[in-house]
Structure 1
Amino acid sequence: MAQTLERPSAADPVQAAKARQAATQPRRLPVSDLKRRGWTEAMVSRLLGKPDASEPNPYFPRDGAPMKLYSFERIAMAEASPEFLAWYGRLERKRRVAGR
């Protein structure tokens, strides 16, 4: 997946600062994005283990559990592993049979 950043206008220094910060920080994905990519909780736990970072949940800031974030590099390495490919293949067959 290619990551693209919108170019901020020169008139908006806040957007320019955010873009610079995003470009220099390592890319991390929350579990919700992993699930959209087809991961299950068990796959995340087994193949990735502990998260690389956590952040307060933006949707439930006061009493929500922190978001678990995993580095994009670790995710890419896990998705290229034979264990992930075998597990994902079995999962896809189950989903096809279940009609999902």
Structure 2
Amino acid sequence: MWLTKPMLRSRGWTEAAIRDFLPGPEGLKPNPRFAISGAPMPVWKPGTVAKAEADPKWRDWLDRSLQRRQTTLDALAGTDDLEFRNRLELADRAIRDCSAPPTLLDALEPERPPATHHS
């Protein structure tokens, strides 16, 4: 799964944010809309986007950007294109999977009995 600029824009990214918070493109993919005449699309890995979106500076920028644009992430992600919606959901899942990989202790945490304190 690679993330394209339209996918990033649906998550609140702008051209300036892409330039300021992401490294250069991690790959180029053929443009599906203009396969013959279109330039290849720059793409990023979900882990790269997850790391950028976890940065408090990016989160602060996103909050201010959405306020300036008077919009919400739900509005930006809204689309009638079911194929694009499906790709957005897959991208979101891939980013969430990269955001906070569980450690062994995290996996065991729910099984631990609650601590009891004796006075």
TM-score range normalised by the length of the shorter chain: 0.5 to 0.7
Matches of residues 57-72 of structure 1 in structure 2 within 5 Å?
A: 57-72=31-46
Gapped runs of 5+ residues in structure 1? 1-26
RMSD: 1.7
Gapped runs of 5+ residues in structure 2? 76-119
SS at match of 1:50: coil
Residue identity matched to 2:63: G
TM-score (norm 1): 0.66
Following TM superposition, the consecutive aligned residue runs of length 4 or more in structure 1 with deviations greater than 4 angstroms are none
Partners in 2 of 1:36 and 1:47 — Cα distance?
A: 16
User: 2:63 — aligned with what?
Assistant: 89
Partners in 2 of 1:67 and 1:47 — Cα distance?
A: 18
TM-score (norm 2): 0.56
Partners in 2 of 1:28 and 1:63 — Cα distance?
A: 21
Partners in 1 of 2:51 and 2:25 — Cα distance?
A: 15
The structure with higher relative contact order (CA 8 Å, sep 6+) is: 2
Higher Rg of the two aligned structures: 2
Once the two structures are TM-superposed, the CA of residue 75 in structure 1 deviates from its matched residue by: 0.3
SS at match of 1:54: strand
User: 1:48 — aligned with what?
Assistant: 22
Identity %: 36
Structure with a larger share of its residues in helix: 2
Give the total of aligned pairs: 72
Match of 1:73 among 40, 43, 47: 47
Residue identity matched to 1:42: A
